[in-house]
Structure 1
Amino acid sequence: MSNSDFEPIACQECGQLHRYRPVASGKTALCSRCGGVLYRNRPQMLNEVLALTLAGLMLFVLTNLFPLLGLRAQGAEQELHLFGASVAFWEQGYHLVAGLVIFTIVFFPLFELLAVLTVLLTIRFGWQPQPAIFLFRWMREFKPWGMLEVFMLGVLVAVVKLGDLATLIVGTAFWSFAGVVITMAASTVLLDPFVVWRELGKGCLR
């Protein structure tokens, strides 16, 4: 048993300290005070998250290559790309809003996907853990700023509101964008930060 097995583990919900104890496959360790999740034993967790992350990256590329929505009215047709949403705000003089849009729906999600991929590959291949530790720490700090779900909700509202005024064409990027939201949400649910920190810590000891 390694020295890290004796290090105290703080509950993320109430701060109660516990000593690490291995649990059976598929089981979850809970806080003795509040019942919050401390860590899980999922043997295939890292592989599952890796698959979701790779799928998310491919869908993210498709989302930015193809139009998100098309609008046809009075014989004219206009397409909207994901990046084009921030450009439209910029051209109308809403520079701050344009910056927030590009960061929250493009930069932060892409950073999260690439950071998770780097962390998982570092654990799998035993690379130097310091870059992965840096990326994982900042990914968790930036995560609240990734607002893909909010943007997706806004797109759905626009589809409903504009449906009576013009003919809406749902582009390829709309479905790939929905896939990005789903894969990133599933990855967040599956990925256990305790396991990640523990595996990266083992790399520091090698």
Structure 2
Amino acid sequence: MKDVAQLDLDTLIACPKCDALYRVGVVNKGDQGRCERCHTRLFTRRRDAGLVIIATAFASTVLVIAALFLPFIEIRRLGFSNAATIVDAALAFYGGPLFALSLAVLALIIALPLARLVLTIYTLTPLVLDRKPWPGAKRAFRFSEAMRPWSMAEIFVVGCAVSLIKLTDLARVEIGPAFWMFVAVVVLMAVQNVVMCRWSVWKALDR
């Protein structure tokens, strides 16, 4: 049996769940690879996956930016009404003892998702156009992947949905367009995560 140190590392792929090592040959579009030990998907070469990812990233970026300036929620009670945007909700504790919490919410639901989308577009655009990766593309994609666990737009949407259900007993609640935009962003980002083959992206960046 060959020692691992003597193998060509470019032909190896490690399972992200159980760390099993596999040697990968030529991978064509449409091919899939799964771990024999834990059945985790290792790679999937989908046709036109890059175009789908860039399209969803562009759409998500536009929706997030637009949602910042549109009403997220409006509450009516006894003839009075109050509307709030996403920024208003994130900065609800601004200036108080929970100032750090406001900044954290702003970063996790707005700044980090936007940064990930921009970095994804920057990384994949030249690859889809069959051109040389732009300067710093590897670092950009690495940062994007590092921020993935901290991008919590979907958790924010679920939390808001639960809160809105509880508020309906106290006042009339109207969901604004920004809420539905964020729901669309969550769906688009889920599609992006399913379609993206990170192993294929790294291989393309190493060309």
| CA deviation map 1:71-100 (0-9, x unaligned) | 111222111111111221114431111111
**2:124 aligned to which of 109, 120, 124:** 120
Query: How many residues align structurally?
Result: 199
Amino acid at match of 2:172: T
- The answer on 1:138 being equivalent to 2:138 is no
Amino acid at match of 1:133: K
**Displacement of 1:23 after TM fit?**
4.3
Inter-partner Cα distance in structure 1 for 2:10 and 2:76:
64
Q: Identity over the aligned pairs, expressed in percent?
A: 28
- The answer on 1:63 being equivalent to 2:67 is yes
Amino acid at match of 1:184: M
- The answer on 1:194 being equivalent to 2:194 is no
* 1:170–1:6 Cα change, 3 Å: closer
Inter-partner Cα distance in structure 1 for 2:92 and 2:17:
41
Could you tell me which residue of structure 2 aligns to residue 176 of structure 1?
181
Q: Which runs of 5+ in 2 are unaligned?
A: 1-7
Q: Secondary structure at the match of 2:25?
A: coil
Contact kept? 2:11, 2:25, Cα under 8 Å: no
Amino acid at match of 1:140: E
Inter-partner Cα distance in structure 2 for 1:55 and 1:183:
8
Q: Which moved more, 1:40-49 or 1:128-137?
A: 128-137
Inter-partner Cα distance in structure 2 for 1:114 and 1:172:
23
- For 1:144-155, list aligned pairs within 5 A: 144-155=149-160
Could you tell me which residue of structure 2 aligns to residue 88 of structure 1?
92
Inter-partner Cα distance in structure 1 for 2:152 and 2:95:
22
**2:114 aligned to which of 99, 110, 115:** 110
* 1:6–1:174 Cα change, 3 Å: closer
TM-score normalized by structure 2? 0.89
Q: Secondary structure at the match of 1:65?
A: coil
- The answer on 1:17 being equivalent to 2:8 is no
Amino acid at match of 2:19: G
Could you tell me which residue of structure 1 aligns to residue 4 of structure 2?
none
Structure with more of its chain in helix, by fraction? 1
* 1:10–1:52 Cα change, 3 Å: same
Amino acid at match of 1:13: K
Inter-partner Cα distance in structure 1 for 2:167 and 2:36:
52
Amino acid at match of 1:115: L
* 1:96–1:6 Cα change, 3 Å: closer
**Displacement of 1:128 after TM fit?**
4.0
Amino acid at match of 2:82: Q
**Displacement of 1:135 after TM fit?**
1.2
